[in-house]
Amino acid sequence: ALIRGWYRVPVKPGRYPAIMQVQGYSSVMVPSYVNYGDDVIGFGLNIRGHGNSTDDVNPGFPGYILTNLEDKEKYIYRGAYMDCVRAVDFLCSRPEVDASCIAVEGASQGGALTFATAALNNDRIAVCAPQVPFLSDFRDYFRVANWPGNEFIELVEQKKALTWDQAYYTLSYFDIKNLAHMIKAPLLMGVGLMDEVCPPHINFAAYNLVTAEKKYIVYPSAGHGLPDHFYNAKIEWIREKLGLK
């Protein structure tokens, strides 16, 4: 699939650390999201079916998360995770990128993609910072949150397109808690205790299985959107880990 992103490079020639941002479900990545400063490269990825990456794969919303669920080899997130891997390939291919200093961060679906990117590129990602991560602990997730479980209920119980066992079998390959043990990079996670979209329960299901250096910041009154404090703390932490002042 053809995918695109926004690549922001400092004006002054040289080699720089890079921060890659991956996006939330159905959101559109734009250049302003990756303005991390004049001493670091920013790369905002639009995975397949999002933003300006809809040429070849564009199932739309709602329904994106159900696309090809019956086959783990063709499931939409197999491609989306590979988009993230190829994005890291791109960064490592650029002469201006210090390939030993690549970070990945994102919220919600972007939090899940951050987990997946750090796990599947564990020899190339130096730092990762997921926020309210999605795509985790699906059986419990569907019990404690209305969406996206309601879309799966319609597909399985009403349309009879496949069984629950088949659905969970496919999802198990893309559940970030099953990838978490592969992460080697230091990890910072942000959590909102009032989050009804990606409840803290599913965030910690993945976090608890990370064996690398890790820490989290919890906001007791925050929902799916965390306060600016986390954004600022996250960027400060990433910069410190990348050796930036």
Active site residue 123: no
Active site residue 172: no
**Cα(199)–Cα(193) distance, rounded to whole angstroms?**
7
Active site residue 195: yes
Tokens, residue 163? 């069984």
Q: Of residues 83, 98, 137, 195, which has the active-site annotation?
A: 195
**Where are the extended beta strands (E) located within the chain?**
4-8, 16-22, 41-46, 97-107, 127-131, 187-192, 214-219
Tokens, residue 187? 């990890």
Three-state DSSP state, 121: coil
Torsion angles phi and psi, residue 215, rounded to 5? -155, 165
Q: Of residues 108, 136, 137, 175, which has the active-site annotation?
A: 108
User: Is the Cβ–Cβ distance between 42 and 19 less than 8 Å?
Assistant: yes
Q: What is the 3-state secondary structure (H, E, C) of 5-49?
A: EEEECCCCCCCEEEEEEECCCCCCCCHHHHCCCCCCEEEEEECCC
Amino acid at 156: V
User: Is the Cβ–Cβ distance between 67 and 59 less than 8 Å?
Assistant: yes
Question: Which active-site residues does the annotation give?
Answer: 108, 195, 224
